């Protein structure tokens, strides 16, 4: 785990509804702030101590001018504050980093398994691939309760240009666990890949066990677990 403790000011540029129940907050990119696709930030409102989770994956790519976090609506004080944020509001990054080497390795085959809002760090990775014309072999398996897949228009555009990027969308609402697992296994071409799983804790754990059972080495699995709040 790489963590950097630093007080960095964030100024809100805008907030947008991505779809029902999901929002993105855009910040002006702080001067000289360098991050990698897959990184997370801990954020706080200046002068306010609010209950709730403060850790968010950066959904924007290092190649983009604004910084972006994307989140699902919640009931905590912190989530409510984020949902009512306004341009020019000020927050701070108290620390940022990357867990368990959660970064794509160039020129190596990778499988990304996203559950719901867990697509956020993968958006950062794939946007960077698109902007820098990388052509690594990447498979994205995107699980969601319904057909409202975040970032789908962008993902479809990028997949048309990135010839080695394949994307499969799985709406899980009407399929049972065994069918879901069978679908996932059918999309994994080989256990000899780099695997990344991002989403709610139960989803991350179940898919990690699924990969291990099919012969994937634990050292080849990297996880990013999104708690709800």
pLDDT at 6: 72
Question: 120-131 vs 152-161: helix axis angle to the nearest 10?
Answer: 30
For 119-155, the pLDDT digits (tens) are: 999 999 999 999 999 989 999 999 999 999 999 999 9
Kindly report the average pLDDT of the chain as a whole number: 93
pLDDT at 107: 87
What sign has the CA pseudo-torsion 153, 157, 158, 162?
positive
Pairing of strands 66-72, 22-28: antiparallel
pLDDT at 22: 94
Q: List beta partners, residue 98.
A: 2
pLDDT at 20: 87
Question: Which of 225, 149, 222, 143 lies closest to 180, judged by CA?
Answer: 143
Measured CA to CA, the distance from residue 125 to residue 62 in angstroms comes to 9
**Considering the entire predicted model, what is its pTM?**
0.93
pLDDT at 2: 56
pLDDT at 161: 93
Q: Which domains does the chain have, with CATH numbers?
A: 2-98 (2.40.30.10), 110-225 (3.40.50.80)
Intervals of the chain under pLDDT 50? 1
What is each CA distance from 89 to 45, 66, 86, 136, in whole angstroms? 9, 15, 6, 39
């Amino acid at each position: 785990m790489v963590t950097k403790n630093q007080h960095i000011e964030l100024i809100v540029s805008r907030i947008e509804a991505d779809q029902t129940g999901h929002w993105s907050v855009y910040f002006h990119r702080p001067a000289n702030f360098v991050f990698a696709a897959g990184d997370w930030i801990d954020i706080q409102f200046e002068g306010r101590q609010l209950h709730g989770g403060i850790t968010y994956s950066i959904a924007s790519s290092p190649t983009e001018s604004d910084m972006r976090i994307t989140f699902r609506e919640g009931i905590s004080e912190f989530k409510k504050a984020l949902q009512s944020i306004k341009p020019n509001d000020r927050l701070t990054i108290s620390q940022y980093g990357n867990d368990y080497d959660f970064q794509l390795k160039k020129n190596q085959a990778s499988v990304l398994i996203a559950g719901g809002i867990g697509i956020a760090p993968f958006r950062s990775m794939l946007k960077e691939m698109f902007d820098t014309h990388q052509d690594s072999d990447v498979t994205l398996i995107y699980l969601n309760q319904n057909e409202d897949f975040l970032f789908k228009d962008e993902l479809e555009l990028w997949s048309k240009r990135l010839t080695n990027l394949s994307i499969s969308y799985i709406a899980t609402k009407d399929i049972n666990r065994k069918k879901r697992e069978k679908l996932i296994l059918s999309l994994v071409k080989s256990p000899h890949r780099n695997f990344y799983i991002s989403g709610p804790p139960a989803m991350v754990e179940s898919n990690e066990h699924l990969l291990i059972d099919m012969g994937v080495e634990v050292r080849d699995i990297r996880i990013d677990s999104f708690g709800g709040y």
